[in-house]
Amino acid sequence: MTVCQYVEVVLSIPDNEARTALAVLQRLGLGVTELERADVYRFDVDASEAGTLTERLRSIETIFNPSKHVMRERTAAGPGPGELWVEEAFPASAGTVPRFAGRVLRGVSGFGRFTSWRMRGRGGEAADERLVAEAARTLLCNAAFQKGTAA
């Protein structure tokens, strides 16, 4: 039996890409007061291997460095309130044996990668759907080659 497991990796140090994107959104007049970026990975994994997947991912230096990242499992299968997930609209084929960061992961039959953008509005609350859609349209998602999904 295959289960779908989501893992996110967030910088624990200042994120210059998120800071720059926030400054641009504010210059564009959007009411975003906070912006956090994370890498979200979706894995199709055999149920018998799901319990060890996160620990195995921690050993892949190209996606996780304990000195500058935090890794956590996500329970939701999609973006939460005030969040946008951006992915390649036409991802490259991984072949018959999926390779993640150059490695074959035992029990994994497929995976996807998203960039998560979490936004807060002027009152500190999660950004509403309109604000998330406008941030996606103006800066965070290029419709020519990316697909954005919001809550």
Per DSSP, 92 falls in state P
Whether residue 96 is predicted with pLDDT greater than 80 in this model: the reply is no
Confidence tier at 98 by pLDDT (50, 70, 90) = confident
- Express as a percent the part of the chain with pLDDT over 90: 83
Global pTM value? 0.91
Q: What is the pLDDT of residue 91?
A: 66
What does the pLDDT look like over 55-69, one tens digit per residue?
Answer: 999 999 999 999 999
Kindly state the helix (H) or strand (E) to which residue 101 belongs, with its residue range.
none
* Residue 8 contacts residue 85 (beta carbons within 8 Å): no
What does the pLDDT look like over 26-57, one tens digit per residue?
Answer: 999 999 999 999 999 999 999 999 999 999 99
Whether residue 95 is predicted with pLDDT greater than 60 in this model: the reply is no
Work out the mean pLDDT of the chain and round it to a whole number.
Answer: 93
Q: What is the mean pLDDT of residues 134-142?
A: 97
**Using CB atoms within 10 A of its CB, is residue 96 exposed (0-12), middle (13-18) or buried (19+)?**
exposed
Whether residue 9 is predicted with pLDDT greater than 50 in this model: the reply is yes
